[in-house]
């Protein structure tokens, strides 16, 4: 580490090579704490965005989405991968679809990424304080990591919103088609005394008629 510090002082605080070195070091330290970082962001989002509070399976998928995003983001920082070469985590895309199917407002999804970005920045700052970085390099490292995270979140937000909107449109079209298929004329109307589950069976039959 001492040799690196001397090299930084000789090359100056604007050395891209040394900035990348410390960015990779901080990202690697956070990568080794992936489960803890994921858990902290998960708790923050659940606490601050009530619309995201759903049944256990959806909450588990939220956790997988966060873990996938954090893992991808940290690998991009660690290995200096440009955001346009990063693939969106499968769990993140699927989570966007599930929110669309459950009618969760898209603003909740976008806000989750913004709040996740803020919490990630806080964790990075804490890790930077625990990392031996020359004072002359610290600001440059912070700026580099902030810029990279902003680019990733901006890119990922566009990806998941597009997936959300496509899924929401498809889901609504299916619901409208089901209601307008005309099967109500083919099946007897349930009496008031029938179980509330009976209309759902008619809907299932209707869907079967459409698929046939």
> For the chain, what are the domain ranges?
15-178
R_g of the chain computed on alpha carbons: 24
For 130, phi then psi, to 5°, come to -95, 0
**Cβ-based burial of 56 (10 A; exposed 0-12, middle 13-18, buried ≥19):** exposed
Under-70 pLDDT residues of the chain: 1-14, 181-212
Residue for token pair 């109307």: 189
d(CA 20, CA 5): 14
d(CA 7, CA 35): 34
CA distance 80 to 177: 48
pLDDT reported for residue 14: 52
Question: Residue 16: its pLDDT value, please?
Answer: 84
How far apart, in whole angstroms, are the C-alpha atoms of residue 170 and residue 97?
A: 10
Q: Among candidates 49, 159, 170, which has minimal Cα distance to 101?
A: 170
Contacts of 83 (CB under 8 A, 6+ apart): 76, 148, 151, 152, 155
Q: Report residue 33 as tokens.
A: 């704490």
Per-residue confidence (pLDDT) for residue 171, from 0 to 100:
87
Asked whether 145 and 131 are in contact (CB, 8 A), the reply is no
Length of the chain: 212
From 1.10.490.10, 3.40.1080.10, 1.10.510.10, 3.90.1640.10, which CATH number describes the 15-178 domain?
Answer: 1.10.490.10
Q: Are 121 and 54 in contact (CB under 8 A)?
A: no
State the pLDDT at residue 11.
46
d(CA 185, CA 1): 79
Q: What is the pLDDT of residue 156?
A: 97
In 3D, which of 194, 56, 49 has the Cα closest to residue 108? 49
Return the residue matching tokens 């040799």. 3
Task: Note the pLDDT tens digit of each residue in 65-99.
Answer: 999 999 999 999 999 999 999 999 999 999 999 99
Those residues whose C-beta lies under 8 Å from the C-beta of residue 27, and which sit 6 or more positions away, are 74, 75, 77, 78, 145
């Amino acid at each position: 580490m001492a040799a690196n510090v001397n090299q930084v002082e000789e090359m100056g605080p604007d050395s891209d090579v040394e900035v990348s070195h410390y960015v990779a070091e901080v990202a690697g330290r956070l990568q080794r704490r992936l489960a803890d970082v994921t858990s902290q962001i998960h708790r923050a989002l659940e606490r601050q965005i009530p619309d995201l509070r759903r049944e256990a399976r959806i909450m588990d998928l939220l956790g997988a989405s966060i873990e996938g995003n954090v893992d991808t983001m940290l690998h991009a920082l660690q290995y200096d991968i440009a955001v346009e070469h990063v693939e969106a985590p499968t769990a993140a895309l699927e989570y966007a679809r599930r929110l669309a199917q459950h009618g969760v407002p898209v603003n909740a999804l976008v806000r989750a990424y913004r709040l996740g970005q803020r919490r990630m920045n806080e964790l990075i700052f804490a890790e930077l304080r625990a990392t031996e970085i020359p004072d002359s390099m610290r600001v440059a490292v912070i700026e580099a990591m902030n810029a990279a995270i902003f680019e990733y979140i901006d890119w990922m937000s566009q990806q998941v919103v597009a997936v959300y909107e496509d899924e929401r449109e498809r889901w609504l079209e299916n619901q409208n088609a089901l209601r307008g298929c005309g099967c109500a004329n083919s099946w007897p109307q349930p009496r008031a005394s029938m179980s509330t589950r009976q209309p759902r069976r008619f809907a299932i039959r209707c869907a079967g008629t459409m698929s046939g």
